Amino acid sequence: MSHDHDHHHHHDHDHSELSETELRVRALETILTEKGYVEPAALDAIIQAYETKIGPHNGARVVAKAWSDPAFKKALLEDGSKAIGTLGHVSRVGDHLVVVENTPERHNMVVCTLCSCYPWEMLGLPPVWYKASPYRSRAVRDPRGVLADFGVTLPTDMEIRVWDSTAETRFLVLPMRPAGAEGWSEEQLAGLVTRDSMIGTGFPRTPGAPS
């Protein structure tokens, strides 16, 4: 499956570059395999694991639980990795996950200006925009301008806190629970949690709005 020719053209690249890169990547894999460093089936399994096991659904369940369970929320804000570790069924989580709470007074946003650090276990692999120069350059200086690119506007007097992920700590935003979802189950609430709301570049869905 992973060896299929897949002709989605990325807008940044013309076809000749893609072909050359693809050939070089294949050549490297051949060399690593022939030298006995890697087993191709193990590479397939890594890809399959990323495609099926991690993703924003993990973070969404954590957020929904925090919205529903005040004791869990308190534990989550004190030690994210430890609290999520108690939810064996949600996701495995690495050390040093810091969960930061949005409030009516403060909005949090996460970036990695130096590379692309991102809470993979909670959110999956980062989207292209998160890893690209426009976001990495502007998030720490003009976050309101960046949010405007996402169609998001904050009250003018609200504090914006930007967390630059410069070490092996990872940050997950706990968005505010939207009104209108009183009495909803954790599973229903999880359906309101978007990936971007956990990065801080968006809000959760509004109950009743088309998703």
Partner 1 sequence: MNGVHDMGGMDGFGKVEPEPNEPMFHEAWESRVLAMVRAMGAAGAFNIDTSRFYRETLPPHVYLSSSYYKKWFLGLEEMLIEKGYLTREEVAAGHAMQPGKALKHGKFDLANVERIMVRGKFARPAPAPARFNIGDRVRAKNIHPTTHTRLPRYVRGHVGVVELNHGCHVFPDSAAMELGENPQWLYTVVFEGRDLWGADGDPTLKVSIDAFEPYLDPA
Cα 81 from Cα 78, distance rounded (Å):
9
Place of tokens 């629970």: 177
Residue 185 annotated in ligand binding: no
The least distance separating partner 1 from the CB of residue 182, rounded to whole angstroms, comes to: 30
Please name the helix (run of DSSP H) or strand (run of DSSP E) that holds residue 171, with its range, or none.
strand 170-174
Question: 91, 112, 165, 197: which one is catalytic?
Answer: 112
> Has 137 been annotated as catalytic?
no
CB of 49 to partner 1, least distance (A): 6
Q: Which is nearer to partner 1, 39 or 187 (CB)?
A: 39
Closest approach of partner 1 to the CB of residue 66, in Å: 19
Q: Which of 16, 68, 81, 115 is catalytic?
A: 115
Residue 112 annotated as part of some ligand binding site: yes
Running DSSP on this structure, what letter comes out for residue 125?
Answer: S
Q: Which is nearer to partner 1, 72 or 129 (CB)?
A: 129
2 in a labelled binding site: no
Alpha-carbon distances, residue 23 vs 8, 44, 180 (angstroms):
16, 18, 53
Has 117 been annotated as catalytic? yes
The annotation status of 117 as a binding-site residue, yes or no, is yes
Extract long-range pairs of 82-88: CB within 8 Å, 24+ residues apart. Answer: 84/122, 87/61, 87/62
Rounded distance, CA 79 to CA 150, Å?
30
* Annotated binding residues for Fe(3+): 112, 115-117
What positions carry a catalytic annotation? 112, 115-117
